[in-house]
Chain A
Amino acid sequence: EDKVVQSPLSLVVHEGDTVTLNCSYEVTNFRSLLWYKQEKKAPTFLFMLTSSGIEKKSGRLSSILDKKELFSILNITATQTGDSAVYLCAALNSGGSNYKLTFGKGTLLTVNP
């Protein structure tokens, strides 16, 4: 059965701290790894990673994928209270014409002022 595991499940930090969120996966027909940020509504797309070792950056957020060790990390530097959310990792597997995401349970990040 396809599986995505995120750690830690929750994390509390102070503004300005740097955090690293972890995601490991075991997915058949793996294609890509996606990160989403979920506040109280829709998961918002952050990154899609397909190749190993290539860092993707967007402002204070960055992410990288290791396809040999089957994991990804999401880094957030100089955290702000607005970064407080659940961060979801999902593995995209494609069997034939099917594309579906297998999600982890998420990491709840709380950034205190």
Chain B
Amino acid sequence: NAGVMQNPRHLVRRRGQEARLRCSPMKGHSHVYWYRQLPEEGLKFMVYLQKENIIDESGMPKERFSAEFPKEGPSILRIQQVVRGDSAAYFCASSPTGVLRETQYFGPGTRLLVL
């Protein structure tokens, strides 16, 4: 059973460009979470999605950031018009439904560098 997959693992963008980060949850998992880890900081919650629904986006910046988890395909975290402060590691986690829902399993992360 493959774990949570994220791609790309590393992404370099210039200021003003768009960044698209992809996350494929573990097989059978329908809950996806995105977290951001800034240098010297802990992981910070951004958004929680189920298939085709955003459940909680309280940690997401109001502008330039969006997330989706379509019926088919991976979850996408999209950052428009990136700025240097967006440079960070972005981790995706997934969890199953039911009583095991509380355990989130993490992907390897995408390291975004904005030049």
Interface size class of A (residues with CB under 8 A): 20 to 34
Most buried by B among A34, A41, A43, A48: A43
A92 to B102, CA, bound (A): 8
A86-101 with Cβ < 8 A to chain B: 88, 90, 92, 94, 97-101
In the complex, are the beta carbons of A98 and B56 less than 8 A apart?
A: yes
B94-115 with Cβ < 8 A to chain A: 95, 101-109
For chain B, the count of residues having a C-beta within 8 Å of the partner chain is: 28
* Residues on the A chain within 8 Å of B91, using CB: 42-43
A106 to B43, CA, bound (A): 9
Most buried by A among B33, B45, B56, B103: B45
In the complex, are the beta carbons of B44 and A36 less than 8 A apart?
A: no
Q: Which residue of B lies closest to A44 (CB)?
A: B106
In the complex, are the beta carbons of A99 and B95 less than 8 A apart?
A: yes
B22 within 8 A of A: no
* Residues on the B chain within 8 Å of A98, using CB: 48, 55-56
In the complex, are the beta carbons of B102 and A42 less than 8 A apart?
A: no
Question: Could you mark each residue 18-50 of chain A with 1 if its beta carbon is under 8 Å from any beta carbon of chain B, else 0?
Answer: 000000000000011010100001111100101
Question: Could you mark each residue 95-111 of chain A with 1 if its beta carbon is under 8 Å from any beta carbon of chain B, else 0?
Answer: 00111111111100000
Question: Could you mark each residue 14-48 of chain B with 1 if its beta carbon is under 8 Å from any beta carbon of chain A, else 0?
Answer: 00000000000000000101010000111111001
* Residues on the B chain within 8 Å of A92, using CB: 102
In the complex, are the beta carbons of B35 and A101 less than 8 A apart?
A: yes
A106 to B102, CA, bound (A): 20
A73-91 with Cβ < 8 A to chain B: 88, 90
A residues neighboring B (CB under 8 Å): 4, 31-32, 34, 36, 41-45, 48, 50, 88, 90, 92, 94, 97-106
B residues neighboring A (CB under 8 Å): 3-4, 31, 33, 35, 40-45, 48, 55-56, 58-59, 91, 93, 95, 101-109
Nearest first, the 3 closest Cβ-Cβ pairs linking A and B are: A103-B42, A103-B43, A98-B56
A-B contact pairs, 12 of them (CB 8 A): A4-B42, A34-B102, A42-B91, A42-B109, A48-B103, A94-B102, A98-B48, A98-B55, A99-B31, A99-B102, A101-B43, A103-B35
